[in-house]
Amino acid sequence: MKKFWTILAIAVAAAAILLIVFKDNIFGNKKTEEPMMKNTAVVVVDELYDFIDGSLACQGAEECVKNSAAFLSGLEGVPILYTCDYHPANHCSFVGQGGPWPPHCVQGTRGGEIADELKPFVSEELVFLKGDDPMLEQYSGFEGHNAAGQTMGEVLEVLGIENVIVIGIATEFCVRNTAEDLLKAGYKVTIQENCLACVDPQGHVDAIAAMKGEGIIFTGSPAPVF
């Protein structure tokens, strides 16, 4: 019987030592998570009224804005960048000019404004305008510039960003082009899947499959509308 207690005591001591040595592996190490968030930024793509309830209203847009607001409100100390279609009235992408889209996000109109729910998270220097040249279509927010004339790449570099989380509208156009440009520029790109809206559900599904194949990471449950 004495032998049993001795073995038990040794077993308990061994377990305690193992727990101390491997506690970071067992319970996760907070220290490794903090620096990653430090190097992370969010890019909110085109959550603008014409894409939500206006001339180019997208599928799942209201849900996307609601989920985006909840997602952004849970972040602390993470830079939040916005991209905005910012077209002159004679933009080349409009049907009147031979383009594929109805007029949308015309400068100075409500259609080009960021959704009210997301305005509390806007910093002016982190808003990137695109499509303001009448002759140039720009789906990618990475090609945009802020009011001071800086590109998104320049600002991300100054902020020391390595990981970018992309959310917004529309999955298969401006979200995809922005995410792909970020990936090409060397960032680790993650898309929050419940914060997306699309022009066409099949296009949305196809775009996600293509982006996954390119190495873009998807997280968050898919929006039920798709």
Residue 197 contacts residue 171 (beta carbons within 8 Å): yes
Site string for Zn ion, 84-103 (x = CB under 5 A): -x------------------
Minimum CB distance to Zn ion smaller for 60 or for 131: 131
Minimum CB distance to Zn ion smaller for 143 or for 190: 143
Residue 198 Cβ vs Zn ion, minimum distance, rounded to whole Å: 15
Cβ contacts of 113 within 8 Å, gap of 6 or more: 48, 49
Torsion, Cα 111 116 118 119, to 10 degrees, reads 100
Q: Closest residue (Cβ) to Zn ion?
A: 85
With CA atoms as reference, report the closest residue to 216 among 164, 145, 174. 164
Q: How far is CA 57 from CA 60, 105, 176, in A?
A: 9, 11, 18
Site string for Zn ion, 14-53 (x = CB under 5 A): ----------------------------------------
Residue 87 Cβ vs Zn ion, minimum distance, rounded to whole Å: 6
Residues 136, 92: Cα–Cα separation, whole Å:
7
The total of other beta-carbon atoms located within 10 Å of residue 1's CB is 5
How many chain residues touch Zn ion (CB under 5 A)? 2
Binding to Zn ion (CB under 5 A) within 124-153 occurs at 131
Minimum CB distance to Zn ion smaller for 122 or for 199: 199
Torsion, Cα 116 120 124 125, to 10 degrees, reads -130
Minimum CB distance to Zn ion smaller for 85 or for 181: 85
Residue 164 Cβ vs Zn ion, minimum distance, rounded to whole Å: 21
Residue 127 Cβ vs Zn ion, minimum distance, rounded to whole Å: 16
Binding to Zn ion (CB under 5 A) within 60-89 occurs at 85
Binding to Zn ion (CB under 5 A) within 161-200 occurs at none
Minimum CB distance to Zn ion smaller for 85 or for 143: 85
Q: Which residues bind Zn ion (CB under 5 A)?
A: 85, 131
